[in-house]
Amino acid sequence: MIVFDLCCSAGGHRFEAWFASSESFAEQQTRGLIACPVCGDHDVRKAVMAPRVGAKSNRQAHAAPAPAETPDAPAPAAIRAALAAIAAQQAEMLPRSRWVGRDFAAAARAMHEGRAPEDLIHGQTSPEEAQALHDDGIAAIPLLVPFVPPDAVN
């Protein structure tokens, strides 16, 4: 497995993703299977990243000094716990919701206007469509943990 720092071209959002190999990343990128978890942009490229270089075997590794903690900032362990809770909640809710694909905005609007029964749904939409839903008072939030859409799974 290999981890890459990725960056979308729409918003410059930076995120990590794991792949079986460099070839696997290239193949998924070509097929449009990689999307920014923040804005959904499929124009994703590898970001500049620093390689991890191990210490020489004849030298002792020195631990990096701990970053100074800001009094108001949550501890890293608290952040990890919060992200794990979000991921667990999302994993629990996705099987109970219906995938509507790129028709998310239309499906959400139809439910809001009473033209469709209310249901838990998830899908894809553009940032502009998401903003239009928000402007019209229609509740919709992005999924915070990336996942593979059902129609893209082998």
Mean pLDDT in residue range 52-67 = 62
Structure tokens at 66: 């701990």
**How many residues belong to the chain?**
154
The yes-or-no verdict on residue 108 having pLDDT over 90 is: yes
Band of residue 60 on the pLDDT scale cut at 50, 70, 90:
low
How many Å apart are CA 109 and CA 114, to the nearest integer?
A: 9
**Least confident window among 37-46, 51-60, 78-87, 96-105:** 51-60
Q: Are 50 and 83 in contact (CB under 8 A)?
A: no
User: At which residue do the structure tokens 């020195």 appear?
Assistant: 62
pLDDT at residue 4 in the model: 85
Beta carbons within 10 angstroms of residue 68's beta carbon: 6
The rounded mean pLDDT for the chain is 83
Average confidence (pLDDT) over 112-129: 90
Domain boundaries, given as residue ranges, for the chain: 2-46, 76-143
Distance from C-alpha of 42 to C-alpha of 38, rounded to nearest angstrom? 11
Residue 90: band (very low, low, confident or very high) from pLDDT cuts 50, 70, 90: confident
Interval 87-109 mean pLDDT: 90
Q: What is the pTM of this model?
A: 0.48
Q: Is 15 exposed, middle or buried (0-12, 13-18, 19+ CB in 10 A)?
A: middle
Task: Go through 89-119 and write b for each residue having 16 or more CB atoms within 10 A of its CB, e for each that does not.
Answer: eeeeeeeeeeebeeebbebbbeebeeeeeee
Residues ≥6 apart with Cβ < 8 Å to 4: 16, 17, 19, 25, 46, 47, 49
pLDDT category at 110 given cuts 50, 70, 90 is very high
Predicted confidence (pLDDT) at residue 126 exceeds the cutoff of 70: yes
* pLDDT tens per residue across span 29-51: 888 889 988 888 889 888 876 66
